[in-house]
């Protein structure tokens, strides 16, 4: 049965081809100084930068820029962003990009007025901010993380070989986000399908937890079926608006905290994947894809009823004349075939990992408590070995 919970999501969304017009409604709510945060410059090539700057200027804003946010934002880059935001006396941080840019903007927002080491306070001690928070808005150009409507923020510390996410409370959620599916059309295929799997992994991390018949499970099964279908359509035609809009909307609902209600949630795949990312700097969604099948096959016996349900309700596996184990494994086989069809990376060797890194990978993996099996260090090592 559903447990007790409190649900709140304060982020306002503007969705569709005219989503950017939402800036005209939001910008007057904030002061004059806007820190514009973005990545490697693709938004300048595809025209999104010019469109955003035009609206900022029309609204009388002073624009300060923080460019060069990398796919796995680092502690060093966070330090740069804090300094830029302080120099700008930023009243609003506007993130234009994918999940890493949105994550980074939130990390900056809670650190500008923090009088402690942000890495230690937020990513080691997992504390909530006690200082003033600079509000964040997002213009999304890549889907996958759901960062546009949650408090998640992942930062990498390369010296410590750690990639850690802090899920902040509702005060850190973006105040608004503009979601135009057309802004995702020019994304390279590798990044596009990586984002698709990030969405799937977010749903599965919440789905494969708990033994009850939870309303959230039915919602997630629908989200998964939509994603599975639309991802194949988009892989054939990246400019298919219906497919890309369905995927963008699914990504938001996959991790805006809604389907987590009443669930313990797992997140061990993310811990395994983030360990790989911390050491290899590989693309996030691909690290998840590379470790998922070994992990799910490992925990299947401990959550057999849910894996059986997943096979039947999501992958349309016929249960007739089969044992529960056969049904569950057939579902994972169907999932694996779908992943390969999309061109996802299926092993961590392809991402730059090797057997000599196993000790570091194990040490860098946080152990979560919410799934069907709490992993031992030896089990983590074995899963990584099977992922090579």
181-212 exposure pattern, b = at least 16 Cβ within 10 A, e = fewer: bebbbbbeeebbbbbbbbbbbbbbbbbbbbee
Q: Where are the beta strands (DSSP E) in 27-135?
A: 33-37, 62-66, 92-97
* Domain containing residue 248: CATH number: 1.20.1090.10
Q: Pick the closest to residue 201 from 223, 216, 179 (CA basis).
A: 223
Here the tokens at position 110 are 């809670």
* Domain identity same for 167 and 268: no
Domain annotation covers residue 3: no
Query: What CATH number is associated with residue 62?
Result: 3.40.50.1970
CB 387 within 8 A of CB 347: yes
Do 27 and 175 reside in the same domain of the chain? Answer: yes
Instruction: Give pTM, 2 decimals.
Output: 0.95
Note whether 149 and 293 are same-domain residues.
Answer: no
Same domain (yes/no): 175, 309: no
- Looking at 142, 160, 183, the residue that finishes a domain is 183
- Give domain status of residue 39, yes or no: yes
The answer on 38 and 160 residing in a single domain is yes
Residues 6+ apart with CB under 8 A from 43: 49, 52, 96, 97, 141
Q: Helices H, strands E: what count in the chain?
A: 15, 8
Statement to judge: residues 165 and 194 lie in one domain: no
240 and 162 within one domain: no
Report yes or no on 4 lying in a domain: no
Residues 204, 351 within the same domain = yes
Residue pLDDT tens, the chain, 388 long: 677 888 999 999 999 999 999 999 999 999 999 999 999 889 999 999 999 999 999 999 999 999 999 999 999 999 999 999 999 999 999 999 999 999 999 999 999 999 999 999 999 999 999 999 999 999 999 999 999 999 999 999 999 999 999 999 999 999 999 999 999 999 999 999 999 999 999 999 999 998 778 899 999 999 999 999 999 999 999 999 999 999 999 999 999 999 999 899 999 999 999 999 999 999 999 999 999 999 999 999 999 999 999 999 999 999 999 999 999 999 999 999 999 999 999 999 999 999 999 999 999 999 999 999 999 999 999 999 999 9
- Tell me: do 142 and 248 sit in the same domain: no
Which of 136, 165, 183 terminates a domain? The answer is 183
**Are residue 118 and residue 53 in the same domain, yes or no?**
yes
Whether the CB-CB separation of 243 and 230 falls below 8 Å is answered with: yes
Tell how far CA 245 is from the center of its chain.
17
Establish if 371 belongs to a structural domain: yes
Residues 6+ apart with CB under 8 A from 146: 99, 152, 199, 202, 251, 252, 253, 254, 255, 256
Domain limit, last residue, from 183, 203, 228:
183
Tell me the HSE value of 260 on the side-chain side, using a 13 A CA sphere: 20
Q: Is residue 6 part of a domain?
A: no
Residue 7 domain flag: no
Q: Give the domain range for residue 215.
A: 189-387
Is residue 31 domain-shared with residue 130, that is, in the same domain?
Answer: yes
User: 178 in helix, strand or coil?
Assistant: strand
Provide the residue count of the chain: 388
**Burial class for 47, CB neighbours closer than 10 Å (0-12, 13-18, 19+):** exposed
148-150-154 Cα angle (round to 5): 90
- Together in a domain, 49 and 142: yes
200 belongs to a structural domain: yes
Tell me whether residue 49 is in a domain.
yes
CA dist 105 and 82 (Å) reads 10
The pLDDT of residue 166 is: 94
170 Cβ neighbours under 8 A, 6+ residues apart: 8, 9, 10, 151
Please state the domain count of the chain: 2
Q: Give the CA count within 13 Å in the CB-facing half-sphere of 34.
A: 26
């Amino acid at each position: 049965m559903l447990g007790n919970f409190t649900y709140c999501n304060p982020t306002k969304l503007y969705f569709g081809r005219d989503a950017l017009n939402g800036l005209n409604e939001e910008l007057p709510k904030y002061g004059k100084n806007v820190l514009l945060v973005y990545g490697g410059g693709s938004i300048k090539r595809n025209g999104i930068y010019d469109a955003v700057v035009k609206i900022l200027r029309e609204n009388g804003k002073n624009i300060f820029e923080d460019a060069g946010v990398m796919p796995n934002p680092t502690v060093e880059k966070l330090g740069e962003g804090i300094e830029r935001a302080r120099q700008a006396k930023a009243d609003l941080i506007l993130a234009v990009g994918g999940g890493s840019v949105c994550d980074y903007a939130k990390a900056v927002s809670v650190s500008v007025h923090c009088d402690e080491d942000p890495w230690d306070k937020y990513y080691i001690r997992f504390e909530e901010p006690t200082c003033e928070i600079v509000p964040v808005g997002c213009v999304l150009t890549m889907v996958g993380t759901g960062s546009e409507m949650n408090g998640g923020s992942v930062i990498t510390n390369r010296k410590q070989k750690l990639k850690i996410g802090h899920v902040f409370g509702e005060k850190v959620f973006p105040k608004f986000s503009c979601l135009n599916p057309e802004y995702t059309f020019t994304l390279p295929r590798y990044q596009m399908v990586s984002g698709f799997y990030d969405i799937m992994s977010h749903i599965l991390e919440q789905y494969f937890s708990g033994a009850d018949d939870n309303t959230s499970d039915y919602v997630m099964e629908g989200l998964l079926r939509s994603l599975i279908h639309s991802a194949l359509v988009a892989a054939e035609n990246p400019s298919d608006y219906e497919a890309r809009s369905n995927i963008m909307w699914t990504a938001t609902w996959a991790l805006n905290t809604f389907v987590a209600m009443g669930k313990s949630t797992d997140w061990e795949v993310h811990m395994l994947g983030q360990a790989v990312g911390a050491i290899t700097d590989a693309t996030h969604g691909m690290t998840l894809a590379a470790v998922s099948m070994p992990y799910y096959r490992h925990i299947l016996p401990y959550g057999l009823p849910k894996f059986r349900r997943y096979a039947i309700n999501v992958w349309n596996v016929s249960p007739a004349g089969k044992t529960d184990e056969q049904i569950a494994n057939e579902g994972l086989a169907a999932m694996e075939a779908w992943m390969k069809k999309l061109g996802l990376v299926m092993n961590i060797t392809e991402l730059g990992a090797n057997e000599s890194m196993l000790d570091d990978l194990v040490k860098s993996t946080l152990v979560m408590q919410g799934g069907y099996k709490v992993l031992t260090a030896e089990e983590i090592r074995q899963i990584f070995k099977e992922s090579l």
